[in-house]
Amino acid sequence: MAITGGTSKNKTYDTAGLKVPVSLGVIMDGNGRWAKKRLLPRSAGHRAGAENLKELCRNCGNYGVKYLTVYAFSTENWSRPQGEVDQLMKLFVEFFDRYDPELAEEGIRVRFTGDIEHLPENIQKVCREGEERSKDRPKMQLIVAFNYGGRREIVHSVQSIAKDIKEGRLQPEDITEDIISSNMYLPDVPDPELIIRPSGEMRLSNFLLWESAYSEFWVSDTLWPDFGYEDLTQAFRDYAKRDRRFGGLSKKDTEEN
The 10 Å Cβ neighbour count of residue 169 is 10
CA dihedral 99, 100, 101, 106 (to 10 degrees): 90
Q: Decide the pairing of beta strands 194-197 and 216-219.
A: parallel
Q: Is 156 helix (H, G, I), strand (E, B) or coil?
A: helix
- Going along 83-239, which residue ranges are E strands? 108-113, 140-148, 194-197, 216-219
Distance, in Å, from the CA atom of 148 to the CA atom of 185, rounded to the nearest integer, reads 10
State the catalytic residues: 29, 77
8-state DSSP, 117: G
